[in-house]
Amino acid sequence: MLIQTSMFGEMTIEENDIILFPEGIPGFLEEKQFVIIPISEESPFLVLQSITSKEVTFVMINPFLFYPNYDITLPESAVSLLRLKKPEEALVYSIVVVKQPLNQSTVNLQAPIIIHPSEKLGKQVVLNDPRYQVKTPLILPQRKVSNG
Amino acid sequence: MLVLTRKSKESIMIGSDIEVTILSIEGDQVKLGISAPKEIDIHRKEIYLTIQNENQLALTQLSKQQLNQILSHLNDAGERNEER
């Protein structure tokens, strides 16, 4: 099917790529169907795009790449809604407020986007964990030095 | 809004499976215990509002080119690290 996106223009997606957010997400409760689009093969940034509203576009990262100590426990409401049997089944993303320059950007570590890929279900989970903030400064990952 | 008066240790029922109990009252702080089905999310309201607001702020109107331009600094930073 064809969808309109603010970042990539018109694009073709497979029905099978659509992830259902049964509750929408806070602030966008009517938006229930999204696709995840990598920005490029090598970029750690992805886009969460509503398939019905072109302008509902979020930039996300895999938080574990940027914050290696990030460690969350999903509340039972999320495990139940997403039909997760094992925690490893979940994909975890964090929404980024992108600013220029990039190091002014912030990452929402308090409310990660959790996806159960095989069930095509998603939910933004609000953690009750005082370690994680809504506006966490984006810390750019250090690439490993290849020649030691 | 329905208004009910309760004392410490008293409860209210919301439907048949949500129970809110006043655990203690100290000064202007009330400690609530909430028993609800596990499917139900329970949040402090201000946290939910903060997430809502942050999602609004996070809506991006960048084009792919603009985003790539901003993110190119990420690659530069990575390359500098590799050179060290």
Look up the ipTM and state it: 0.90
Query: What mean pLDDT value characterizes chain A?
Result: 92
Q: How far apart are CA B71 and CA B74, in angstroms?
A: 5
Query: What mean pLDDT value characterizes chain B?
Result: 87
- Our measurement of the distance from residue B61's CA atom to the centroid of its chain's CA atoms, rounded to an integer in Å, reads 24
Q: Do A108 and B54 touch (CB under 8 A)?
A: yes
pLDDT, position A77: 92
Nearest-CB residue to A126 (from B41, B61, B67) = B41
**Which distant-in-sequence residues (6+ apart) come within 8 Å of A143 by Cβ?**
B78, B79, B81, B82
Decide if A83 contacts A119 (C-beta within 8 A).
yes
Whether B80 shows a pLDDT value over 70: the answer reads no
Nearest-CB residue to B41 (from A77, A98, A100) = A77
Decide if A21 contacts A34 (C-beta within 8 A).
yes
| Residues B37-51: tens digit of each pLDDT | 988 999 999 999 999
Between positions 31 and 50 of B, the ones with CB within 8 A of A are 38-41, 43, 47-48, 50
pLDDT, position B66: 84
Whether A143 shows a pLDDT value over 70: the answer reads no
Q: How far apart are CA B79 and CA A143, in angstroms?
A: 8
Whether A62 shows a pLDDT value over 80: the answer reads yes
Confidence of residue A43 (pLDDT cuts 50, 70, 90): confident
Whether A91 shows a pLDDT value over 60: the answer reads yes
Identify which has the larger pLDDT, B6 or A100: B6
Name the one residue in this structure whose structure tokens are 């409760």: A29
A40: chain B residues, CB-CB within 8 Å: 68
Q: Do A134 and B64 touch (CB under 8 A)?
A: no
pLDDT, position A144: 54
pLDDT, position B73: 67
Confidence of residue B68 (pLDDT cuts 50, 70, 90): confident
Nearest-CB residue to B81 (from A96, A102, A143) = A143
Confidence of residue B83 (pLDDT cuts 50, 70, 90): very low
- A143 interface with B at CB cutoff 8 Å: yes
Confidence of residue B81 (pLDDT cuts 50, 70, 90): very low
Q: How far apart are CA A44 and CA A69, in angstroms?
A: 17
The mean per-residue pLDDT over the stretch A78-106 comes to 93
Distance from CA of A85 to the nearest CA of B (A): 15
